[in-house]
């Protein structure tokens, strides 16, 4: 087979590799036609750019087929780039860092391998979406639900490997993985943790290992391809309260952050509070986008038996509720009602996925709306949050860009996630949005903040910020890369980690 | 300097290395006299054995000195073995796996580098003990406490790197570390997570990284020497209830495990319930050892505002309390009372360390009592726990050994920790206890269980159990070992990970 996009290694190696992949996986499992590749481009890069174009897409349906793909890629020195669903469009969607990479599309590996209703976990393949797991739990009538992020179409494994956040007590999704199966660059099949023992019964229950814990190596990295993972589930609560704190201005913001941090630290609030500036609630409790306003709302949730939730809410009233100018609201639901509540905010904190936030009628350029998210991480301290919000605001203002501002709070950390909307058909606008991102990385680094993940365009720049000890982290990353993947076939450039022989890619 | 214990590499290299360490760290920082080395032996191995004897002890006081030690060890190819306090005697205490290793004793690196009272974390060096941190928190009058294990003399970092367990909501101590500073085998100083960026303000608050998470590499491993770490602290609760469930027999055991698992999964109970068989409570609430009895007690705790704790306890009564034959008790305290309660069970769940469990008057051989802990991990399912308890009981009975039985429960995992007491002056008894351990590893592996940590004597045997994929985990461990530590100087044999050139050690 022949692709119109060449790798650096030259089209001849690529053609042979694709022929071998067809022989191993079947003709329908390999795509090379330009029209077929279109949906796998970085959807938010400048439309005319081919910098992040793949040469082909291969679609394994099993771990064995992933092993075959990896062995073929090694033989022909063809770079691969893996995605699970590839739906996080602000971070490149399914597109590769290295032009001409062969995409390993795991959407066909979409089996839920196990649901243990007693121990409350599932084992899923990378193609399993939030929608799929929720459907399976509802269908089983299981008394269990799952943590989810805002959009239901993404991969559980993909989101979690990128340190994605959800809105449940298991909202730190990376920590909610337990027991990975991973294909290494040489085709070796590794099971992490207790799974390294054949038949071990704690593989998906015990989060650690005998000896070093290797699971972290496969987060946001290019050291292996995760082909299944354990995933913790939650018992449906008797009572669930969706709560909102509404307020205006920076002074209240700092106070609300400090008060919520206290409630997170003492575990009164067990999910991830999410703040938005420029939103308000309509009479049905739906968030309404009012970008020019200075109003904030913080959304969070309480779970438990009725008297537990009432006691938790009294603690919220006694702290957040006493801040001048803060209005508290909540709506309380039967947590075991499978249909769940009517609006997105209420659903997402109970694990019921939807696609509401991508409603094109809400977006400035309709179907053509792209967005670039900037996500620096800092301490969950009111004064620091306010200073960072002001800095980010001034940087967008200085670039003449409007943006939507969000804040995700854990007990000790604040994730400042701001979003600029743009039209990727407009080259000038697109370049200006990406250039501003680069400037913001530098400005935030000067105050001790770095993004926790980034887009293809800025992976190297963000990696450059982690320069402690003469770039000790990068040197370690590269030592491991060269030891584990000497031909550099797995996702070269991911998170700024390149193989030694980058020139031949 | 000259040691009476040779390394495999020969005494000449060792002598030169020790001279260089004296030159770098000072004469008082290097110990070689046999009398001085005595306290660093494996205290529970057969007293006449020299299999795990060190050749010398070096005591750095700073990260720079650790870097110097590592560089000298590389130059002279001398194996090192690091301990923080070296107090976990059942796992070898401070002693090395490889005879003749130079011990890197980190007890002198005992500074608390930072306590952030708002974000509720400390930054500690490896020599900082549970006692030290508690003292510092009390002295500061900080409204914070720390998770602790049963004995207060151990190192926070050492315990956590070995996946130690505490009795607070942060009882999974490995997960409570956030942001490590690590000296790699080549002397490189690495900061994990956000700390890889100079001046990053989320180093000790954000648990992940940009790119792969490397912190897990330094757990129970020989890839680096951790020289400081962030450590999460807890706000002192308004109210703290120490709770006990007492019952007899296997049927109740299974039901209590299932009921407590439900309360752990829904986060009503947020600490680590610990079960003991053969204990009972006296009229003061102290555990009394009654090894021949079939009575169990499970200890756990509740924390929060008064109405939260009352609601939690009602949930405990409605579940655990309804199991036939189960007696529930609790004692409730002001969680902000720095003096704390009077007995060990009540203190340890509130972070107040002591040494009660090593009271020699309670132990069968007095000051000479050794113990060997066997700690397989399994699912937190009542039926599985009962089957495993019966199997372990039959194995000890078959070997004619008495033992004390414990069970540590998390939401999905049960740690079965049993202890045999013996007198290490008695060679025959000691050999029989260790031989039985080896048999139990094999018998438990056949049912899908492995220990989560082990003693020096069985590190290779336990590693052998993790054979999935033609020992894929070991091959990965060794690939990383050879890439990161080509001379094999760091803790050869730790967790069954040996360098390529083992023969020259």
Q: Mention every residue, 6+ apart, whose C-beta is less than 8 A from residue B240.
A: B301, B302, B303, B309, B332, B333, B334, B335, B349, B350
Residues B215 and B249 in one domain: no
Mean pLDDT across the stretch A311-319? 98
Q: Mention every residue, 6+ apart, whose C-beta is less than 8 A from residue A109.
A: A60, A61, A62, A63, A66, A125, A126, A127, A227
- Residues B296-327 have pLDDT tens digits of 999 999 999 999 999 999 999 999 999 999 99
Does A101 map to a domain? yes
Residues B297 and B344 in one domain: yes
Q: Please state which of the ranges A114-118, A445-449, B138-142, B472-476 shows the lowest mean pLDDT.
A: B138-142
Q: Cβ separation of A202 and B466 shorter than 8 Å?
A: no
- Residue A288 confidence (pLDDT) above 80: no
Which of A447, A449, A468 lies closest to B198 in CB terms? Answer: A468
A264, A265, A266: which is closest to A298 by C-alpha? A264
* CA–CA min distance A18, chain B (Å): 27
Mean pLDDT across the stretch A177-197? 98
Q: Mention every residue, 6+ apart, whose C-beta is less than 8 A from residue A252.
A: A296, A323, A324, A325, A326
Percent helix / strand / coil, chain B, rounded to 5: 40, 25, 40
Q: Are A82 and A33 in contact (CB under 8 A)?
A: no
Domain termination residue (choose one: B436, B453, B470): B453
Q: Are B277 and B294 in contact (CB under 8 A)?
A: yes
The two tokens of residue A384 are 């620091």
B297, B283, B287: which is closest to B325 by C-alpha? B297
Q: Cβ separation of A120 and B196 shorter than 8 Å?
A: no
Q: Are B154 and B128 in contact (CB under 8 A)?
A: no
Residues B213 and B309 in one domain: no
A449: which chain B residues are within 8 Å (Cβ-Cβ)?
A: 200-202
So which residues of A are the catalytic ones?
91, 452-453
* Beta-carbon pairs below 8 A across chains A and B: 321
SS3 annotation, B94-160? CCCCCCCCEEEEHHHCCCEEEEECCCCEEEECCCCEHHHHHHHHHHHCCCEECCCCCCCCCEHHHHH
Give the residue from B66, B144, B216, B452 with the most A CB atoms within 10 Å of its CB, the best one to mutate: B216
Dist CA A275 CA A271 (whole Å): 13
**Which own/partner pairs from A476-480 qualify as long-range (CB within 8 Å, at least 24 positions apart)?**
A476/B184, A476/B188, A476/B190, A476/B214, A476/B484, A477/B211, A477/B212, A479/B483, A479/B484, A480/A217, A480/A223, A480/B212, A480/B480, A480/B483
Q: Mention every residue, 6+ apart, whose C-beta is less than 8 A from residue B392.
A: B374, B376, B403, B405, B416, B418, B440, B444
Does B55 map to a domain? yes
- Residues B428-443 have pLDDT tens digits of 999 999 999 999 999 9
Does B1 map to a domain? no
Domain termination residue (choose one: B433, B453, B473): B453
Range of the domain at B42: 11-107+483-504
pLDDT at A287: 59
Does A229 map to a domain? yes
Handedness of CA A40, A42, A48, A49 (dihedral sign): negative
Residues within 8 A of A (CB atoms), B 394-453 only: 411-413, 445, 447-453
Q: Cβ separation of B201 and A450 shorter than 8 Å?
A: no
Q: Is the pLDDT higher at B134 or at B12?
A: B134
pTM of the full structure: 0.96
Residues B326 and B405 in one domain: yes
Give the other-Cβ count within 10 Å of B124's Cβ: 29
What is the DSSP secondary-structure string of A145-197?
E----S-TTSBHHHHHHTT-B-SSTT-BHHHHEEEEEEEETTS-EEE-GGGGS
Q: Which helix (H) or strand (E) holds A429?
A: helix A427-445
pLDDT at A12: 65
pLDDT at B397: 94
Mean pLDDT across the stretch B47-76? 95
Q: Are B104 and B82 in contact (CB under 8 A)?
A: yes
CA distances from B101 to A491, B51, B157, B384 (A): 40, 11, 21, 41
- The size of chain A, in residues, is 505
Does A470 map to a domain? no
Q: What is the ipTM of this complex?
A: 0.96
- Residues B121-167 have pLDDT tens digits of 999 999 999 999 999 999 998 899 999 999 999 999 999 999 999 99
Residues within 8 A of A (CB atoms), B 355-394 only: 377-381, 384
Residues B264 and B153 in one domain: no
Residues facing residue A58 across a β-bridge = A30, A104
Q: Are A41 and A53 in contact (CB under 8 A)?
A: yes
Domain termination residue (choose one: A235, A259, A284): A235
pLDDT tier for residue B11 given thresholds of 50, 70 and 90: low
Q: Are A92 and A434 in contact (CB under 8 A)?
A: no
Interchain contact A165–B (C-beta under 8 A): no
Residues within 8 A of B (CB atoms), A 102-141 only: 118-121
What's the mean pLDDT when you consider all of chain A?
94
Question: What are φ and ψ of residue B40, in 5° steps?
Answer: -105, 10
Residues A376 and A276 in one domain: yes
For residue B177, give the 3-state DSSP assignment.
strand
- Residues A463-476 have pLDDT tens digits of 999 999 999 999 99
Task: Characterize B351-372 residue by residue with b for buried, 16 or more Cβ atoms within 10 angstroms of its Cβ, and e for exposed.
Answer: bbbbebebeeeebebeeebbbb
Say which CATH number the domain at A190 has: 3.30.465.10
Residues B270 and B335 in one domain: yes
Dist CA A260 CA A193 (whole Å): 34
Instruction: Tell me what percent of the residues of chain B surpass a pLDDT of 70.
Output: 96
What's the mean pLDDT when you consider all of chain B?
94
A263: which chain B residues are within 8 Å (Cβ-Cβ)?
A: none
| CB-facing half-sphere around the CA of B416: CA atoms within 13 A | 26
Mean pLDDT across the stretch A203-209? 98
Q: Cβ separation of A189 and B475 shorter than 8 Å?
A: no
Q: Cβ separation of A118 and B270 shorter than 8 Å?
A: no
Residues A331 and A368 in one domain: yes
B486, B440, B487, B490: which is closest to B465 by C-alpha? B440
Which of B194, B198, B473 lies closest to A467 in CB terms? Answer: B198
pLDDT at A329: 94
Question: What are φ and ψ of residue B269, in 5° steps?
Answer: -100, 125
Given B236, B299, B452, B474, which residue is catalytic? B452
Residues within 8 A of B (CB atoms), A 281-340 only: 303-305, 307-308, 310-312, 314-315
Interchain contact B195–A (C-beta under 8 A): yes
- Residues B212-259 have pLDDT tens digits of 999 999 999 999 999 999 999 999 999 999 999 999 999 999 999 999
- Residue A73 confidence (pLDDT) above 90: yes
Report how far Cα B413 is from the mean position of its chain's Cα atoms. 17
A462: which chain B residues are within 8 Å (Cβ-Cβ)?
A: 210
Dist CA B424 CA B45 (whole Å): 6
- Residue A291 confidence (pLDDT) above 80: no
B183, B97, B164: which is closest to B495 by C-alpha? B97
Which of B235, B452, B465 lies closest to A266 in CB terms? Answer: B235
B467: which chain A residues are within 8 Å (Cβ-Cβ)?
A: 196-198
Mean pLDDT across the stretch A431-455? 97
For residue B190, give the 3-state DSSP assignment.
strand
Write the DSSP symbol of residue B413.
E
Dist CA A231 CA A351 (whole Å): 14
End-to-end Cα distance, chain B: 19
Whether B449 sits among the annotated catalytic residues: the reply is no
For B22, counting Cβ atoms within 10 Å of its Cβ (0-12 exposed, 13-18 middle, 19+ buried), the class is: middle
Dist CA A78 CA A84 (whole Å): 20
- Residues B166-191 have pLDDT tens digits of 999 999 999 999 999 999 999 999 99
Dist CA A453 CA A496 (whole Å): 11
Dist CA B149 CA B152 (whole Å): 7
- Residues A236-251 have pLDDT tens digits of 999 999 999 999 999 9
Strands B177-184 and A450-451: unpaired
Report how far Cα A214 is from the mean position of its chain's Cα atoms. 20
Interchain contact B254–A (C-beta under 8 A): no
Q: Please state which of the ranges A193-197, A478-482, B500-504 shows the lowest mean pLDDT.
A: B500-504
User: Cα torsion for A428, A492, A375, A442, to the nearest 10°?
Assistant: -70
Write the DSSP symbol of residue A5.
S
CA angle A263–B354–B309, rounded 5-degree value: 30
SS3 annotation, A186-197? CCCEEECHHHHC
Dist CA B505 CA B500 (whole Å): 10
The total of structural domains in chain B comes to 3
Residues B60 and B138 in one domain: no
Does A398 map to a domain? yes
Does A128 map to a domain? yes
Residues B371 and B293 in one domain: yes
Dist CA A154 CA A244 (whole Å): 26
- Residue A281 confidence (pLDDT) above 60: no
- Residue A362 confidence (pLDDT) above 80: no
Write the DSSP symbol of residue A127.
T
pLDDT tier for residue B279 given thresholds of 50, 70 and 90: low
Say which CATH number the domain at B98 has: 3.30.43.10
Q: Are B201 and A206 in contact (CB under 8 A)?
A: no
Q: Is the pLDDT higher at A386 or at B404?
A: A386
Give the other-Cβ count within 10 Å of A403's Cβ: 24
Which strand ranges, in their side-by-side order, compose the sheet holding B56-58? Answer: B30-31, B56-58, B102-105, B80-83
Residues A364 and A254 in one domain: yes
Residues A218 and A265 in one domain: no
Q: Cβ separation of A197 and B445 shorter than 8 Å?
A: yes
Whether B452 sits among the annotated catalytic residues: the reply is yes
* CA–CA min distance A450, chain B (Å): 8
Say which CATH number the domain at A396 has: 3.40.462.10
Does A477 map to a domain? no
Q: Are B411 and B172 in contact (CB under 8 A)?
A: no
pLDDT at A4: 74
């Amino acid at each position: 087979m022949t692709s119109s996009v060449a790798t650096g290694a030259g089209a001849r190696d690529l053609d042979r590799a694709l022929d071998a992949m067809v022989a191993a996986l079947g003709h329908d499992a390999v795509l090379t036609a330009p029209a077929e590749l279109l949906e796998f481009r970085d959807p938010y890069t400048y439309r005319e750019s081919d910098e992040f174009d793949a040469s082909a897409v291969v679609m394994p349906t099993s771990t064995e087929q992933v092993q075959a793909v990896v062995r073929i890629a090694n033989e022909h020195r063809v770079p691969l780039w893996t995605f699970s669903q590839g739906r996080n469009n602000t971070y490149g969607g399914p597109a590769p860092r290295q032009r001409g990479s062969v995409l390993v599309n795991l959407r066909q590996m979409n089996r839920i391998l196990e649901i243990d209703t007693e121990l409350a976990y599932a084992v899923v393949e990378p193609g399993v979406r939030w929608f799929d797991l929720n459907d399976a739990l509802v269908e089983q009538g299981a008394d269990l639900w799952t943590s989810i992020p805002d959009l239901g179409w993404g991969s559980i494994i993909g989101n979690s490997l990128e340190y994605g956040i959800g809105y449940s007590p298991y909202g730190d999704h990376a920590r909610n993985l337990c027991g990975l199966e991973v294909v290494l660059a040489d085709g070796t099949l590794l099971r992490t943790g207790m799974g390294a023992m054949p038949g071990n019964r704690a593989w998906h229950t015990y989060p650690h290992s005998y000896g070093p814990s290797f699971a972290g190596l496969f987060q946001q990295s290019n050291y292996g391809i995760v082909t299944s993972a354990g995933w913790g589930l939650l018992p449906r609560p008797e009572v669930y309260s969706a709560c909102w704190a509404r307020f205006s201005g920076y002074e209240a913001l700092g106070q609300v952050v400090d008060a919520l941090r206290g409630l997170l630290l003492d575990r009164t609030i067990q999910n991830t509070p999410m703040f938005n500036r420029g939103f308000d609630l309509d009479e049905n409790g739906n968030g309404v986008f009012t970008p020019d306003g200075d109003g904030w709302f913080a959304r969070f949730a309480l779970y438990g038996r009725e008297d537990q939730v009432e006691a938790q809410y009294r603690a919220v009233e006694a702290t957040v509720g006493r801040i001048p100018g803060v209005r508290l609201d909540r709506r309380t639901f039967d947590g075991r009602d499978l249909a769940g509540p009517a609006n997105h905010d209420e659903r997402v904190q109970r694990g019921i996925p939807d696609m509401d936030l991508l409603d094109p009628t809400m977006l400035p350029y309709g179907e053509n709306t792209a967005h670039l998210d900037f996500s620096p991480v800092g301490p969950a301290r009111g004064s620091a949050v306010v200073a960072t919000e002001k800095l980010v605001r001034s940087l967008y203002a200085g670039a003449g860009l409007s943006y939507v501002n969000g804040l995700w709070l854990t007990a000790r950390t604040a994730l400042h996630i701001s979003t600029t909307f743009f039209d990727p058909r407009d080259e000038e606008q697109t370049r200006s949005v990406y250039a501003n991102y680069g400037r913001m990385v530098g400005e935030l680094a000067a105050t001790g903040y770095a993004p926790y993940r980034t887009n293809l365009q800025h992976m190297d720049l963000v990696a450059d910020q982690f320069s402690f000890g003469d770039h000790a982290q990068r040197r370690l990353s590269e030592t491991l890369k060269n030891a584990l993947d000497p031909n550099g076939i797995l996702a070269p450039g991911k998170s700024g980690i390149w193989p030694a022989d980058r020139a031949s890619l």
